[in-house]
Copies of this chain bind each other. A is one copy, B any other.
Amino acid sequence: MPASPAKSPSIKEHDPAPKTGASRRRAGRPAAAVLDLAGITAAALRLIGKNGYDGLTMAALARSLHVAPSALYNHVESKRDVLLLVEDHLAALVDVTAFAAEPWESAVRKWAWSYRDVFAEHTPLIPVIAVLPVTDAPQTLAMYETVSAGFRTAGFPAERIVSAIVALESFIFGSAYDVTAPADIFESGRMAESTPSFTGAVRSLAAQGHEKPADEAFSLGLEALIVGFGALRK
């Protein structure tokens, strides 16, 4: 379906205007609210999935929900609030189940890969998350709770848990960007002769023929962090 209007199952609109185009709602408060946070979040995710973050404008978001842009401001204070809604939705998709069933090392490993994979598709959210007070993001907070409990159970000293999670998260966020980098990011071009060590290192990596170089770097760093942090347990 190429250009059919986005339709949410929860919003059934009677359509009294048989003329072509969308049915017009006249001004004034509607009998039942047209918008809610869940619908706004779903529409934003649909838009992002179709056109990326460049396509996520307040105008486009409003259009996809068949309302005027200003209507959104009855439900969110700013576009940043919309990004926050999306972020918290995605946080719930991060797989933390291994903390309940597996040893600490493999639980951290699965969580980290899942976390990176989810946000690699949503790097424009990273500046938002990195500075996000957890109070504003219940699902994100729930993820932290599960992970913290896993660290505690594994014998991590309490005063180091937050720092360890923050360090892992920093690595994960940076690595999420790395996934999106173009394949030729390290081609030194005509500067190759003046950068023999780096150019050699790049060629040596390329010769390995890895399908996804970003995964090699992520694995290398993650395993080092797991070993290093694992030694803190008692």
Residues of A within 8 A of B (CB): 123-124, 126-127, 130-135, 138, 141-142, 144-145, 147-149, 151-152, 158-164, 166-175, 177-178, 180-182, 184-191, 194-198, 200-202, 204-205, 207-208, 213-214, 216-218, 220-221, 223-225, 227-229
Contact = CB atoms under 8 A, between A and B. Distances in A.
A177 B173 contact: yes
Number of copies: 2
Nearest to A150: B197
Closest 5 CB pairs of A and B: A224-B228, A170-B174, A167-B221, A130-B177, A158-B204
A221 B213 contact: no
Chain A contact residues: over half helix, strand or loop, or mixed?
Answer: helix
Contact of A188 (B132, B134, B160, B170): B134
B218 A167 contact: yes
Nearest to A171: B171
Contact of A187 (B134, B180, B217): B134
Given A174-B171, A186-B162, A187-B134, A149 B197 contact: yes
Contact of A182 (B133, B151, B200): B133
Contact of A175 (B123, B147, B170, B177): B170
Nearest to A215: B163
B178 A170 contact: yes
A84 B178 CA distance: 17
- Most chain B beta carbons < 10 A, residue from A166, A201, A217, A220: A201
B171 A170 contact: yes
- Most chain B beta carbons < 10 A, residue from A172, A173, A180, A213: A173
Given A145-B195, A162-B186, A167-B218, 14 more contacts: A130-B178, A133-B185, A141-B188, A141-B195, A144-B195, A145-B196, A148-B195, A152-B201, A162-B202, A163-B213, A168-B221, A170-B173, A172-B174, A224-B225
